[in-house]
Structure 1
């Protein structure tokens, strides 16, 4: 039977890929997005009869939009650790309180299933072990803390009529129509292609769990299509694979293998304290999830996009934190320039 899926942040890095996957599975899609990065990432879906777009905010949207919705996928948020520090209160209001609101109104409107895009960054500064879903959380950023708070507040909403699942994504990589060059694999590939050089902080010893954007989408689909909701209700799952835990220096060398003339520059210190490896056995054992893409796949597809020009290397919106700062500065400039509400 046709399912109606409601995706917050559906025009973003993951969401713009997810729309296509939902359509391939014959779902009707409602996209709620603030459209910070414009309509270009979802341009090909704007006139699709099974996709409905609403430019709105998770904090304020009319809950009536959820009428008849079967599944809510909550991707919306200030995306990544540095960006979350630009306006801490906005991060709390959107990433934490916004997600809690989405979950509550979903339950109120009779939605059967709610899936939150959480993050493995909640493990933060880890130890030498593979961290599973029960491991100690040691967040080092507001972004990670907001995800923890959201999970803690939303989990008690789960009951026999409302299934709640948290997907803790690893560090995502790969091509998307809403490209991001503030994720480690993507950033290194872009810098190697553009400058022939990669700066590696902290000696490159830090660990990151990696996962391709299409594998992330597959994980959400797998949760959506689970018949026995009792095995996922109130549960968190790390999304990735054990064999894609890499140290930063290893990632840099994979990029160098694809772009041989790349120079690697190592620096001993790094203000970013994130350093963790995660265990993804649970999602494999419970749901049968397996990743299909490798880091090399991601590097090659981004490199091909840069070479061919369908990825705009100079688009300022590709670096989230810089683009947010640009928007705030532009807003301030417009306020100062406008006269009687107009520029001219």
Structure 2
């Protein structure tokens, strides 16, 4: 297929783009490039690129594509909280604009990178399936709900939206995100000797490796239409739900000489949920996740050491998304609407 990947210069995009190419697909990227230089090690092989703000996409940019893998977004809760209205503009309204443009251009499959964050605050320890109610606690989670609901309204015989509700990601990518819990805890364990928790660690969280998320995109791209049309799937592994304090203990086990510590005033995290990912593995035989958190921690340790990561670099804007956005705005390169004023 001819596939457009939005956000291909981001954390997941740096893994998905080469995976799609290796599977034989013709890939083009679309990115506004907030994180182009946020690298750990060499960049992944590049693909033809449309450098464009997601808010400016029109049908002319989608002509000739068979499918869209839509990753681009303001990508986490701290950035979402920075300006909730911009989060809704980019994650919701610009996503809908992109989908309408894709439909008008004759694209038949639209894979949307949603999030288990839309489940938000679970009321008990029961794993949530795709029929569970939503209880978002952040603008980011709410923006994913709004996008899913409006995308579903575009579904018809010629246009199939698919919703990938990704668990919390971890694992190595050439455009590493340090603001993800496993990536963060592992870096601090290795580089400072402390597995430092900012919460009390009592919250549940489903975790999934970046490669497994991208493998789900590939499987759902290639699956028969009847398996994907209008369907939401929790992306992860049902056995990979963890209490955050147990993740910290696992990191301490893997990284010699490290120990778990708690920040002063550490309190419960409002985001607290477990999910069931049984539906996608039952209905989409092409998706076979292969990572566990322990294997992911081991991979991260090896990658951090191989690329000579320092704690100063890890904490800098290169690997912290909110700090990168603030650095670009403070330098006058992005305006208050997060549009480029200078390149």
Check 1:153–1:174 CA distance in 2 against 1; reply closer, same or farther (3 A cut).
Answer: same
Larger CA deviation: 201-210 vs 150-159: 201-210
CA distance in 2, matches of 1:65, 1:149: 24
* SS in structure 2 at match of 1:152: helix
Scaled by the length of structure 2, the TM-score of the pair is: 0.91
Correspondence 1:145 to 2:146: no
Correspondence 1:321 to 2:322: yes
CA distance in 2, matches of 1:310, 1:202: 28
* SS in structure 2 at match of 1:101: helix
Correspondence 1:293 to 2:294: no
Larger CA deviation: 156-165 vs 302-311: 302-311
- Name the Cα RMSD after superposition: 2.1
Check 1:258–1:322 CA distance in 2 against 1; reply closer, same or farther (3 A cut).
Answer: same
8 Å CA contact 1:215, 1:292 repeated in 2: yes
8 Å CA contact 2:44, 2:174 repeated in 1: no
* SS in structure 2 at match of 1:98: helix
CA distance in 2, matches of 1:135, 1:128: 13
Check 1:306–1:231 CA distance in 2 against 1; reply closer, same or farther (3 A cut).
Answer: closer
Aligned residues: 330
CA distance in 2, matches of 1:39, 1:61: 23
Shift, 1:276, TM fit: 0.5
Shift, 1:199, TM fit: 2.3
CA distance in 2, matches of 1:106, 1:334: 28
* SS in structure 1 at match of 2:9: coil
CA distance in 1, matches of 2:86, 2:25: 32
Give every structure 1 segment of 4 or more consecutive aligned residues whose post-TM-superposition deviation is greater than 6 Å: 332-335
Shift, 1:322, TM fit: 1.7
CA distance in 2, matches of 1:86, 1:194: 29
Check 1:334–1:99 CA distance in 2 against 1; reply closer, same or farther (3 A cut).
Answer: closer
After superposition, the C-alpha distances for 1:107-161 in whole angstroms (9 at most, x for unaligned) are: 1110010010000010111022100111111000000000000001110111111
The residue correspondences of 1:37-186 to structure 2 (distance < 5 A) are 37-38=35-36, 43-46=43-46, 51-126=47-122, 127-186=124-183
Larger Rg: 1
8 Å CA contact 1:165, 1:233 repeated in 2: yes
Q: Structure 2: any 5+ residue segments left out of the alignment? A: none
After superposition, the C-alpha distances for 1:184-239 in whole angstroms (9 at most, x for unaligned) are: 10000011112111222443111110000000000000101112x12211110000
CA distance in 2, matches of 1:191, 1:44: 25
* SS in structure 1 at match of 2:113: strand
Other-structure match for 1:338: none
* Aligned partner of 1:245 among 231, 241, 265: 241
CA distance in 2, matches of 1:334, 1:212: 33
* Aligned partner of 2:10 among 9, 12, 26: 12
CA distance in 2, matches of 1:43, 1:332: 23
Larger CA deviation: 302-311 vs 97-106: 302-311
8 Å CA contact 2:58, 2:98 repeated in 1: no
8 Å CA contact 2:57, 2:98 repeated in 1: no
8 Å CA contact 1:11, 1:39 repeated in 2: no
Check 1:232–1:220 CA distance in 2 against 1; reply closer, same or farther (3 A cut).
Answer: same
Shift, 1:282, TM fit: 0.7
Scaled by the length of structure 1, the TM-score of the pair is: 0.91
CA distance in 2, matches of 1:44, 1:201: 32
Q: Structure 1: any 5+ residue segments left out of the alignment? A: 336-340
CA distance in 2, matches of 1:312, 1:241: 31
8 Å CA contact 1:5, 1:73 repeated in 2: yes
Other-structure match for 2:191: 194
- Higher normalized helix content (fraction of residues): 1
After superposition, the C-alpha distances for 1:44-72 in whole angstroms (9 at most, x for unaligned) are: 423xxxx2111111110342121110010
Shift, 1:317, TM fit: 2.0
